[in-house]
Amino acid sequence: MEHVRPLVAVSSCLLGAPVRYNGGHSRDRFLAEELDRYVDWRPVCPEIEIGLGAPRPTLRLVTDSGEVRLVTREGDADHTEAMRALADRRAEELAGVDGWVLKARSPSCGLRGIPRYRKGQPADRRGRGVFAERLTERLPLLPVEEEGRLHDDVLRAHFVERIFARARLRALLAGDWRPRDLVAFHTRHKLQLLAHDPDRYRRLGRVVAEAGSAPRTRVEAGYAELFAAALAVRPRRGRHVNALLHVFGPMSERLDDARRHDIVTAIEEYRQGTVPLGVPMALLRHHARGEGCAYLLAQTYFEPYPRGLVPSVTMA
C-alpha cells in the first residue's frame, strides 16, 4: 500500500537542533532516524520563537498569583502571554499538519507532569507546558504526543496510525474530490474505523450519504471532525475482534473447513490474550490475498502505516 507522507510539527530540539536552554539538543532516535523516512517535519521551538536565545535562563511554572505563569527561575521575567500568543499563531499557521510531537518535561512544551512552584518551592507535578496547553485547547482533535511516550509501542502505534490516516484524508480533501471519491475513502477505512469507534463510523456514513446534496464545505468539515474523533479513541480488544470478524465474514464461504477453523481459532486466541493481534491479522491477509478478495486487501486496517514503523504485535 502506498502511503501519503504526513506533515508533523515537532519541537526542533528533538531533531537535533541546538536550541535547548543549555545550548544543547534532545535528539530522539525514533523521530530523527526511523519516522524521519516517512514524514515531512515542521520544526518549532517556542522559546526561540518568542525571542529567547540558546543558551538562556531556565523557565518554570509558578502558581504564586493563583494562576499558572511561565517565568524565569529567578522570577525576573514573565513569558506567559508571549508563549500563549505564539501558540495561537502557530496553531493557525500549522493548522494543516497531521500531528505534533512535543518535548517532554518542558515548561513550555510538556504535556503532563511538569513541576509547578509556589513561593520558590515545588508544589506539585501536575502542570502542563504553557505552549502545549494552549495548542491542545485550540486543536483538541489533533494527534499530539511527547517523544517519551512514543517509546511505548502501543502509544506509538496509535499516534502513528492517526497521523497517517489524517494524511490520507488531507490528500483527498485537497483535491477536486467527487462524492464517489469520499465513498471509496470511507469504504477503505471501514474496518479501521470499526476497530476504534463503531458509533462514529455509522455517523460518518450519514455524512458520506449527504456528499452529493449538502454543501461541499459542510461535508468536508463534518467528515474530518468525526474521522479525527473516531481515530482518537484507542481501539480495545473487543473492537479489534469485531473488525476481524468483519474481515472473516465475506471470505469464509470461499474457504474450506480447515482454513476457517484456523482463522476462528486465531481470532479466539487473540480475544483471550494468548496471541498478539498480528497473528489473526496475518492469517486473514494471507487468505484474502490467496482468494483474491480485493475489497479486503484494500482495507487500511491491514496496513494503517508503513510496515516496520511499529511491530504489528503492539496493535492491540
CA distances from 200 to 58, 78, 128 (A): 44, 43, 30
pTM over 0.85: yes
Where helices occur in 3-142 by DSSP H, the ranges are 29, 46-49, 80-93, 130-138
Q: What is the pLDDT of residue 235?
A: 92
Q: What is the Cα–Cα distance from 85 to 14, expressed in whole angstroms?
A: 23
Map out the domains of the chain as residue ranges.
7-151, 165-316
CA distances from 314 to 186, 278, 302 (A): 25, 8, 14
Q: What is the pLDDT of residue 311?
A: 61
Q: What is the pLDDT of residue 1?
A: 73
Q: What is the pLDDT of residue 222?
A: 98
The DSSP output letter for 56 is -
Return the exposure string of 275-311: e unless at least 16 CB atoms fall within 10 Å of the residue's CB, then b: bbbebbbebbbebbeebebeebeebbbbbbbeeebbe
Secondary structure class of 122 (helix, strand, coil): strand
Q: What is the pLDDT of residue 72?
A: 96
The C-alpha cell at 293 is 478478495
Q: What is the pLDDT of residue 313?
A: 44
> Which distant-in-sequence residues (6+ apart) come within 8 Å of 249 by Cβ?
none
Q: What is the pLDDT of residue 101?
A: 98
Residue ranges for the chain with pLDDT beneath 70: 311-316
